[in-house]
Amino acid sequence: MSNQIKLYLATSNKNKVREVNEILAQIDYINNIQIQYIFDEIENQEVRIIENGESFIENSVIKAWSYGKIIKKPVLSDDSGLSILCLKDFPGINSSRFLEDEPYEKKMEKILAMLEGEEDRRAFFACAATYFDIEKNILLSFEEKIYGTISNEIRGTNGFGYDPIFIPEGFKTTFGELKKDIKNKISHRAKAFEKLFSFIEKNGLLH
C-alpha cells in the first residue's frame, strides 16, 4: 500500500473537509491523499483570519497563506459561496457572513422572501480551491462554478449551507435532495479541486 499523504484544509467548516475527501475518493489517479481538518494540527492556537478580499480567489489565497505560514506545511483552502444574478451576485463572497448568527433555515427563508415574485431565479455556486506550499514557494488557485436556479421552497436535507434551495442545471432536484455522489461529481467544489489536483499530480508537486 502506498504511503498516505496528509494535507490540511484551512477551514473552520468541517463540511468542506468531508466533501473534499469524498471528491478525492472519486478521482481514479488519487489514492493516497487524505484531507485533514486544520484545527487538528493547530488546536491550541487562536487564529484570526480577516477575509477582506474582493473575490473568491482572493479570500481563498488569504486563508491558505495565513494558515500555511502557521503550520509551515503545504496547505489547501476553499472559498466558496452562492451568487444570485438578479440580486447582483448577493450573497456571493459574503455567503457565510449573511445573517451570520442565524441558522441556515433562516438565511434560506430570507433569500426566498427576497426572490418572492421574481422570475429570474438564476444563480451559481463558486469555489476557489487553493494550494500553498511555503517551503517550495508554490501558490496555485483555481475557481470553478456550477450554474442553476433558486427553488421556490427549501427542499432536502443532504449537503450543507444553501444546498436545499439550489437546483443545478439539468436537474429538477435541489442539491439538498441529490445524492452526495452526484453533487460531488458536478459541484463547484468538485470542479475546482479536480483542476487543482490534476495540476498537482501532473507536476509531481507532492513528491
Per CB under 6 A, the list member of 80, 149, 151, 184 interacting with ligand ITT is: 80
Contact 67, 38 (CB under 8 A): yes
Per CB under 6 A, the list member of 162, 167, 190, 200 interacting with ligand ITT is: 162
Residue nearest to ligand ITT (CB): 161
Residue 178 in the binding site for ligand ITT (CB under 6 A): no
Q: Which is nearer to ligand ITT, 80 or 149 (CB)?
A: 80
Q: CA angle 132-135-197, nearest 5°?
A: 35
Q: Which is nearer to ligand ITT, 27 or 99 (CB)?
A: 99
Per CB under 6 A, the list member of 8, 67, 125, 193 interacting with ligand ITT is: 125
Task: Write the CA distances from 155 to 53, 92, 113, 134, 145, integer angstroms.
Answer: 32, 21, 15, 42, 21
Residue 81 in the binding site for ligand ITT (CB under 6 A): yes
Residue 161 in the binding site for ligand ITT (CB under 6 A): yes
Q: Which is nearer to ligand ITT, 33 or 183 (CB)?
A: 183
Q: Which residues contact 63 (CB under 8 A, 6 or more apart)?
A: 10, 11, 49, 51, 77, 78, 79, 130
**Minimum distance of ligand ITT from residue 28's CB (angstroms):** 23
- Strands 138-150 and 75-84 turn out to be unpaired
Site track 37-76 with ligand ITT (rule: CB under 6 A), x = hit:
----------------------------------------
Per CB under 6 A, the list member of 143, 163, 177, 194 interacting with ligand ITT is: 163
Q: Which of 79, 101, 133, 163 is catalytic?
A: 79
Concerning whether 79 is annotated as a catalytic residue, the answer is yes
CA dist 169 and 138 (Å) reads 35
Q: Mapping DSSP to helix (H, G, I), strand (E, B) and coil, where does residue 178 land?
A: coil
CA dist 156 and 4 (Å) reads 35
CA dist 16 and 22 (Å) reads 10
Question: Which of the stretches 6-14, 23-31, 115-123, 132-140 binds ligand ITT when contact is defined by CB under 6 A?
Answer: 6-14
